[in-house]
Chain A
């Protein structure tokens, strides 16, 4: 099974400052169809998860453009250009190339 490793697991950030979360996979996420199935989810306290990014860098509709995804192969990053109070929560990467696996989650909190 593909193992997804996120870092850091806890991320205190200052409002208005950028934040970055790393996600590494134990093997390449390039599918035989040429796509890379790496998604990012946000889970606010007490809520169901919400997908932010699909296939590495595609923002879902309604997601603020301060969220961006990048990466390739085994290394991926979610960036928040300027953190806002509503961004507090836990962020997960998910690989869908070979079945599915979530990362451990990164808790984003305001300093």
Chain B
């Protein structure tokens, strides 16, 4: 059974940084293309970015609104996906999900407020 567990969310002041983690199990993590998706309160889903498997080149793509501030990485030895969020803005307040194929985690809430 695929399991994705996000962690690392919380309350952060504007301009701050946060690193989210997604612990994966139940599938071959090293061969998977992993994505981050976020959802602001009461809003729709927004794709944040994706990292390909190393065997497929390890390319990382980002959505335009987050490029330059967000960094996606992976540690295949730990079966863990990361999202480093820098220079946080109030509009980054959202539940952040990690996804692979059809599977989603339960999400972790990031709140940016002074």
On A, residues with C-beta under 8 Å from B are: 1, 41, 43, 48-51, 54, 60, 90, 92, 94, 99-105
Interfacial chain B residues near A99, Cβ < 8 Å: 47, 50, 61, 63
A107 to B47, CA, bound (A): 19
A-B contact pairs, 8 of them (CB 8 A): A1-B64, A43-B45, A49-B45, A49-B97, A51-B101, A99-B63, A102-B45, A103-B44
Chain B, residues 29-49, CB within 8 Å of chain A (1/0): the string is 000000101000000111100
Q: How far does the Cβ of A90 sit from chain B's closest Cβ, in whole Å?
A: 7
Interface size of B in residues (CB-CB distance below 8 Å): 17
B44–A104 contact, CB under 8 A?
yes
Kindly list 6 other residue pairs between chains A and B, CB separation below 8 angstroms, not including A49-B45, A94-B45: A1-B64, A60-B102, A92-B44, A92-B45, A100-B50, A101-B47
- A48 contacts B64, CB within 8 Å? no
B interface residues with partner A (beta carbon < 8 Å): 35, 37, 44-47, 50, 61, 63-64, 97, 101-102, 104-107
CB–CB B45/A48 < 8 A:
no
Chain A residues in 8 Å Cβ range of B61: 99
Question: Roughly how many angstroms separate A21 CA and B97 CA in the complex, as a whole number?
Answer: 24
